[in-house]
């Protein structure tokens, strides 16, 4: 089993169903909102379903897992897309869910980063990532990698309540509200922001770091390998980020 599975197991993508139908008043329309991580999958499924049932319409919108949960509980939608573990408090509110798939959250940087080669060689440990994203005790790239410059690390996080941030924070020993950085709305926005900043760092669901059709990394985005055994180098068994199929 690859080490990345430690992170992937925390991100089981699920659907939360409200206890009653939404109050849209449209019997032939199914409304769905929530996690960006499974938005493309749900759109694909709805397209396939409509081939057999053309009379059924779908109203699908992203907005983060937090919105999916809130909308489902408020009966504003028929289905809520959610992408992190459900808490006991959320279960106590009466939600019912079905697991759909498993995803992973990976640390990302720009493919124009001047530190890319060094990061691919040595990676970052969990403690180093925690120091960047939560503790804020490492502020420059040179503190991590050495050198004479003092290029500050531009940390990006999600501004919306979401499964990706919750999962990433959990891996680092915290919660989403503990994550430092510039808040960016949505997984697509976060990937775009870090791709344009050579000194930036972020995290993304794999679908926003890789092309699901080709398995190759998306243009502008690179994935930082994690040094799981903390030996200061990315060993062959840790070097599996080149393709989505390997993850």
**Can you give the pLDDT at residue 86?**
81
Q: Are 61 and 140 in contact (CB under 8 A)?
A: no
- Helix, coil or strand: residue 152: strand
How confident is the prediction along the chain (247 residues), in pLDDT tens digits per residue? Answer: 343 333 443 333 344 444 444 454 457 899 999 888 888 889 999 999 999 999 999 999 988 888 888 888 888 998 888 887 788 888 888 888 888 878 889 999 999 999 999 999 999 999 999 999 999 999 999 999 998 899 999 999 999 989 899 999 999 999 999 999 999 999 999 999 999 999 999 999 999 999 988 999 999 999 999 999 999 999 999 999 999 988 8
* Domains, the chain, with CATH or none: 5-102 (3.40.190.10), 105-238 (3.40.190.10)
**Can you give the pLDDT at residue 57?**
93
Backbone angles phi, psi at 94, to 5 degrees: 95, 15
* Residues paired with 17 in a beta bridge: 79, 96
What is the C-alpha end-to-end distance of the chain, expressed in Å?
10
Q: Which two tokens stand for residue 153?
A: 């690390």
**Can you give the pLDDT at residue 203?**
98
> What is the chain's length?
247
Secondary structure tally for the chain: helices H, strands E:
9, 10
The helix or strand, by DSSP H or E, that contains position 205, with its residue range, turns out to be strand 200-205
Backbone angles phi, psi at 6, to 5 degrees: -60, -40
| Residue 28 CB burial class (10 angstroms; 0-12, 13-18, ≥19) | exposed
> What does the alpha-carbon distance between residue 94 and residue 19 come to, in Å, rounded to a whole number?
7
User: Which strands make up the sheet holding 154-158, listed edge to edge?
Assistant: 182-184, 154-158, 200-205, 105-110, 221-223
**Can you give the pLDDT at residue 26?**
55
Q: Which two tokens stand for residue 149?
A: 């410059």
**Can you give the pLDDT at residue 18?**
45
Say which DSSP state 76 is in.
S
**Can you give the pLDDT at residue 60?**
94
Say which DSSP state 225 is in.
P
């Amino acid at each position: 089993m690859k080490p990345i599975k430690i992170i992937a197991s925390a991100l089981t993508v699920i659907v939360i169903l409200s206890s009653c139908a939404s109050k849209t008043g449209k019997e032939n329309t199914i409304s769905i909102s929530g996690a960006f991580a499974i938005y493309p999958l749900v759109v694909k499924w709805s397209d396939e379903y409509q081939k057999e049932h053309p009379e059924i319409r779908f109203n699908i919108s992203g907005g983060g897992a937090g919105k999916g949960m809130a909308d489902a509980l408020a009966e504003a939608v028929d289905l809520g897309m959610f992408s992190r573990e459900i808490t006991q408090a959320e279960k106590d509110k009466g939600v019912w869910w079905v697991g759909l798939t498993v995803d992973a959250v990976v640390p990302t940087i720009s493919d124009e980063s001047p530190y890319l080669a060094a990061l691919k060689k040595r990676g970052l440990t969990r403690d180093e990532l925690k120091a960047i994203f939560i503790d804020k005790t490492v502020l420059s790239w040179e503190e991590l990698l050495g050198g004479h410059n003092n290029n500050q690390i531009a940390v990006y996080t999600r501004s919306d309540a979401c499964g990706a941030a919750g999962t990433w924070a959990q891996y680092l020993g915290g919660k989403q509200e503990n994550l430092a950085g510039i808040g960016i709305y949505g997984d697509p926005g976060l990937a775009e922001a870090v791709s344009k900043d050579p000194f930036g760092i972020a995290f993304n669901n794999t679908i926003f770091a890789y092309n699901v059709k080709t398995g190759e990394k998306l243009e502008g985005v690179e994935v930082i390998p994690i040094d799981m055994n903390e030996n200061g180098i990315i060993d062959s068994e840790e070097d599996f980020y080149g393709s989505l199929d390997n993850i």
